[in-house]
Structure formats: C-alpha cells, structure tokens
Amino acid sequence: MKINWSRAAYQADKMGTAYVIATLIGVTGSTPRNSGTKMVITEDGIFDTIGGGHLEHKVIKRANELLKKEKSCQEMEHFQLGIHLDQCCGGSANILFECFEETCANIMLFGAGHVGQALLPILASLPCKISWVDSRLDQFPEELSVFDNVEIIVNKNPLEAVASMPKNSYFIVMTHKHQMDFDICVEVLKRNDHQYLGLIGSKTKWRRFVRRFIKNGITEKQLKQMSCPIGFNASAGKLPAEIAVSIASEVISKYSEEKSENKKTRSEGVSRQIISELMK
C-alpha cells in the first residue's frame, strides 16, 4: 500500500525520524503539479510526488542534503523548468523545504531476561529505535514482530554490538552475567560519547564494579555519568514490571531533559556517594 505525504509525516513524527516536507509554492506557467502539492523525503524513503522528472530529482537531492545536517530548518528555492531542468513544461516554481530533525533516542538494551522482557514493550512505545542484544536466541519472545522500531541482535559476545551505535546513544545493561555487564560498561565508557549508561544491580554490585572500573583506568568523572542501581527510586520494587517502569521513567526523563535543552544538575545519588567514598 502506498503511503501519502501526510501519513508519512505522521509516522515519521511518531517514530522521531528525520524528514523533509517539500511543497510547491508560487507556481507560474505550465508545471507538472499545482501549487500546494507536497511530498515527504526521509533517509529511507520517498512518499508522494510533486510531478517527477528532473525537478523532483533536484528536490530529493536537496532534501537529502538538509537531512545530513541533522538540524531542523526551513528554506525556499526557485526552480525554472525548461532549459535548466530539461522539462518541456516551461513554467517555474518555488519549493518550500521544511526539515524536521530526528527526535528519537537510540537505545541499546543488553539482556533478554525477565526485566528486559518487561522493559522492552514500554521502550518500544516511545519515539526511539531499540537494538536488543543477547547471546541467547531462545530468550527473545516470539511476538516481537509487532514492534517496527526494535532490532534483535544475537551475538555470542554482546559487547561487540556497542560499536554499532551512533554517538549520544542510550545503553541499558542487564545481562545474565556480571562479568558481561562489566565488560559492556567498560566498552561504552571507552567510547566516551554516550548519552546515558544504566546498569542494573544492587549497591553491593556497584561498589565492587567501581573498584574494578578504577583499576581499568575509568575516571571518577566517567563513573559519575553512570546510573547504578538503575532507575528512579531503584529500591522501591522487586518485580520485573516495577523495575521496568522505574528504568523507563529514568530514560524518559533523561531524553526529555536533553530535548528541552534545559539541563538541570542532578543531586548526588547512591552512585556518586559510593564513588566518592572509594576515591578517598
């Protein structure tokens, strides 16, 4: 089924995907389509048409250039059909380009255990793209096809998946092995370009990990950017659903804070207190 420009824009907004709306404005003379005709261009697709031909080719090329800038903007360009665009219509048109930057968060969730399975549906309902990683294929539920923003990654060495994520990604670490959790966190911290790194675990686990992180050259500044125990009010509940809601709340708060560009300094929590004690 073909998707028209309005539906494409709606879906892009819902998923937080970057897109450009190109609109014919101020048409004069003979042109393939009337003033007000629109099309949508995303990184992965083209929806509707403003008439085809060389004009549309140029419009798509310019839209892709705007998408690469990764910033919202508006601009107008004048196109003379005929000699310049090799179209026999002979008219002219202004094209309004409205570029909307990507607003979704890129999330990598490590671990398909009970908490991961409770957390995934919540995250998948948000404007985000999720890479769900585990070494065990049989841990993933069968009904994942209902989520079009989730990619399953099965890797015997999950930490290898860290390199595939773009900068400013969100990493949630909750595998079935403490050593694997540790190795993944080190890999993320070495990249030093993440937006969020949350680690599931108790205060005792975090104390032990902090000592090991320090021995591996991780700085106090880097450790203070981690969240462990993960989630808002992390000790409030023990059930997978309770933990999942707590983690999702923390992630939502973080990306909302970034989107509003009104960052607030977080008070020192359990993680920072433990780090400060161990660094003395």
Do residues 187 and 135 share a domain?
yes
Residues 89, 81 contacting (CB under 8 angstroms):
yes
Total number of domains constituting the chain: 2
pLDDT recorded at residue 5: 95
User: Looking at 100, 122, 140, which one is the last position of a domain?
Assistant: 100
Residue 251's pLDDT band, with cuts at 50, 70 and 90, is very high
Residues 36, 95 contacting (CB under 8 angstroms):
no
Do residues 96 and 112 share a domain?
no
Do residues 208 and 95 share a domain?
no
Residue 146's pLDDT band, with cuts at 50, 70 and 90, is confident
Do residues 205 and 249 share a domain?
yes
Residues 37, 6 contacting (CB under 8 angstroms):
no
* 45 contact partners, CB below 8 Å, separation of at least 6: 8
Do residues 123 and 256 share a domain?
yes
Do residues 84 and 111 share a domain?
no
Do residues 52 and 144 share a domain?
no
For the residues 167-191, what does the mean pLDDT come to? 95
- Rounded percentage of the chain residues whose pLDDT exceeds 90: 57
pLDDT in tens, 85-100: 455 555 788 899 999 9
Burial of 152 (0-12, 13-18, 19+ CB in 10 A): middle
Phi, psi of 106 (to 5 degrees): -95, 115
Do residues 87 and 122 share a domain?
no
* Domain span at 48: 5-100
Do residues 116 and 240 share a domain?
yes
For the residues 35-53, what does the mean pLDDT come to? 91
User: Looking at 68, 100, 132, which one is the last position of a domain?
Assistant: 100
Do residues 163 and 259 share a domain?
yes
Strand-pair category, 105-110 with 92-100: unpaired
Do residues 116 and 207 share a domain?
yes
Do residues 149 and 269 share a domain?
yes
User: Looking at 100, 131, 165, which one is the last position of a domain?
Assistant: 100
For the residues 144-155, what does the mean pLDDT come to? 88
